[in-house]
Structure 1
């Protein structure tokens, strides 16, 4: 019997959601198994889109489901996840109700199809809607406190496409030619859904994809003028490219061969020079000290929740504590590798205070480094440093221009 058109994509989406919510996997980790048998690019993209929208709006989707049942379904019940998929398509992706039903109910073969059909029909008759802003999970709100209300509006939609330019002097010309907008020198933003490889300048290496907030750490080291910089935890390479373009002699260290291969490919495409090195930063020893070190440290990555909403449901106190310990070990080693007068930029794409502000206090108290406050003029228009001179971004900032990822960045100098 032939499969219902579109059913494999919905089945893959169900597997992705299950992997995140039941096993704590990232969407990226789950894709291999979930997408097996889904070969068409458009079906794979649809599966990712459905799963992402479910995870982005999970709390609100569950509230709608609960409003249409006499007894709340178990959180991990398959019928609940199927209803989440059905509602996300109808309310977020504009899928016609008949297509939602035709591709949703077969996911419950041998299960409570009548229940799912009834709940979906009830909500459709009510003309149920989602709120303008997603409701964050309780444990996330508990961690982020009053910042949660400012962050949440930035999570309503997937992010647009940010490019970092190899030659910042071409910002205005390239933005005009590509039909984009610029929020800072060397930056161009394009509508999401743009096919990256088809864009003008891709093959020539005129730019690389990098969120606006992620471009900030390298910018804070300024022009290299031939000096030596270590990009610690460098892959997939956006920071290395920015540093090389700014005239630094870059040693780009990373432990992952796969990610380091991406970095090397980006170097070839852009024609920029750096020295990639595969090693474990916790055991590697440099042959000389560095004029600057950029440590974009491993972290919980909760600041990337606009594009990776699975982090809203996977990350808890245990993962945060593990990352804090690893970050301190890396910061300590990096501080020892600085030449006198050398600068360290510490960054994390995390919204957790423990990985950001608390780490900055720890650096100042224990490592003998002096802070180098960031000035407002060093940041994109509309952003400002914290009172301590650090940088704290979150998805709700610059919302009228499309927002940006959540980052914490601090800058230090070896006396």
Structure 2
């Protein structure tokens, strides 16, 4: 019997989900191995899309499966994962049921194909549906409390593609050239699904991919005018590029050689310069003090759940404790390396108070509150002068990642 078209993509999606849900890998970590035998770029993209939608709607997909089975399938049963894949294609990717069955049941060769067929057929005959917003895992909803329902509403759709321009003065030009929207000078927003390398401006380094929220920390440092800035934990380099484009003399430090190589590649493509240093920030000592330090600290990255929904299922209390301890130590180091009058910006792409507000409240430098006029329209600082974003904000224009940002000046 010939292999159904698209089966390779579904097998890759199955491997991808197994790596995330059973081994605790991220989508990015698992993707290369999961798609190693998938030749067509469009099939690799489909495998990623299926995996992402399953993880985004996992709680709701499981509820549908459980509603159509007399005996509950184990959470890690292969038949359950295949049914998740089948339902995500039908309910989220608009794949016709006959195509879902043709490419789903072969994944259970030698297994309970009749069971999967029966469950899927039952749900298509009802017909089944998903809620307006994904249901969060119980522990996540408890952790986010009153914010949970609002944040969940921002997770219903994958995010658009955001670009940061090397020269903000060219915003109007590139908005027209790429048919993009812009929410701030130097920012472009395109519909998701664009092949980045094929877009005008990529080869000449006119822009780089960066979520709007991720661009805000550097915007709060203003023009460099030749002064010295340290980008701690710099990889993959979007903020390093921003600093260099804004006229800062940048030192980009990261502990990972592989990730630091990405910084160098991005600098080469855009023609922007930075001094790169591979070192552990907890052991490294600079030769001079800095006018500005950006600490985009390692974190649980729960704020990226729009594009990385696996964080909803693989991050727990142990990771929060480990990251908070590291963040406290990095903040203390960064404060030592500022010149008098120097500015420190702390940022995390996390929705957790332990990594945001609780960290900021411990800093003893002079607060330098974020001002509303420094932010894109629709965003506002907190009473403390900090900035907290979440995926439901700016939802009428495509949303943004969850970030916490705070700023201080050294007296």
Query: Which TM-score band (shorter chain)?
Result: over 0.9
SS at structure 2 position matched to 1:155 = coil
- Give unpaired runs (5+ residues) of structure 2: none
Further displaced range: 40-49 or 81-90: 40-49
Pair 1:382 & 2:367 matched: no
How far did residue 176 of structure 1 move?
Answer: 2.1
In structure 2, distance between residues paired with 1:351 and 1:182:
25
Corresponding pairs, count: 411
User: What per-residue deviation string (whole Å, max 9, x for no partner) do you get for residues 26-75 of structure 1?
Assistant: 11121233223222212211111100000000011011111111222111
In structure 2, distance between residues paired with 1:112 and 1:278:
51
In structure 2, distance between residues paired with 1:44 and 1:194:
14
Pair 1:322 & 2:357 matched: no
How far did residue 5 of structure 1 move?
Answer: 2.3
Pair 1:402 & 2:410 matched: no
In structure 2, distance between residues paired with 1:93 and 1:356:
35
In structure 2, distance between residues paired with 1:132 and 1:244:
42
In structure 1, distance between residues paired with 2:102 and 2:188:
41
Runs of 4 or more, structure 1, over 4 Å off, are: none
In structure 1, distance between residues paired with 2:409 and 2:254:
23
User: What per-residue deviation string (whole Å, max 9, x for no partner) do you get for residues 67-96 of structure 1?
Assistant: 111222111111111100000001111111
Pair 1:65 & 2:65 matched: yes
Equivalent position of 1:154 in the other structure: 154
TM-score (ref. length: structure 1): 0.97
Further displaced range: 290-299 or 327-336: 327-336
Equivalent position of 2:104 in the other structure: 104
Pair 1:54 & 2:54 matched: yes
In structure 1, distance between residues paired with 2:154 and 2:77:
29
Equivalent position of 2:350 in the other structure: 350
In structure 1, distance between residues paired with 2:229 and 2:213:
20
How far did residue 303 of structure 1 move?
Answer: 0.4
Further displaced range: 292-301 or 18-27: 18-27
Further displaced range: 205-214 or 31-40: 31-40
> Over aligned residue pairs, what C-alpha RMSD do you find?
1.1
In structure 2, distance between residues paired with 1:225 and 1:32:
41
Equivalent position of 2:240 in the other structure: 240
In structure 2, distance between residues paired with 1:48 and 1:341:
47
SS at structure 2 position matched to 1:273 = coil
1:20-169 to 2 correspondence within 5 Å?
20-169=20-169
In structure 2, distance between residues paired with 1:29 and 1:270:
26
Equivalent position of 2:307 in the other structure: 307
How far did residue 402 of structure 1 move?
Answer: 0.1
User: What per-residue deviation string (whole Å, max 9, x for no partner) do you get for residues 196-251 of structure 1?
Assistant: 11211112211111000000000100111111000001111110111111111000
Further displaced range: 16-25 or 376-385: 16-25
How far did residue 170 of structure 1 move?
Answer: 1.7
In structure 2, distance between residues paired with 1:216 and 1:297:
14
Equivalent position of 2:254 in the other structure: 254
How far did residue 173 of structure 1 move?
Answer: 2.6
User: What per-residue deviation string (whole Å, max 9, x for no partner) do you get for residues 255-313 of structure 1?
Assistant: 11121111111111211111111111111110001111000000000000000000010
TM-score (ref. length: structure 2): 0.98
In structure 1, distance between residues paired with 2:365 and 2:104:
57
How far did residue 2 of structure 1 move?
Answer: 4.4
In structure 2, distance between residues paired with 1:344 and 1:277:
19
In structure 2, distance between residues paired with 1:258 and 1:288:
26
Given the superposition, is the C-alpha separation of residues 263 and 322 from structure 1 closer, same or farther in structure 2, using an over 3 Å criterion?
same
In structure 2, distance between residues paired with 1:34 and 1:240:
31
User: What per-residue deviation string (whole Å, max 9, x for no partner) do you get for residues 303-346 of structure 1?
Assistant: 00000000010001111111111111111111111111111100
In structure 2, distance between residues paired with 1:31 and 1:266:
22
Equivalent position of 2:408 in the other structure: 412
Equivalent position of 2:19 in the other structure: 19
In structure 1, distance between residues paired with 2:198 and 2:47:
23
SS at structure 2 position matched to 1:240 = helix
In structure 2, distance between residues paired with 1:226 and 1:250:
9
Pair 1:338 & 2:334 matched: no
- Give unpaired runs (5+ residues) of structure 1: none
Equivalent position of 1:222 in the other structure: 222
In structure 2, distance between residues paired with 1:111 and 1:202:
47
In structure 2, distance between residues paired with 1:132 and 1:100:
23
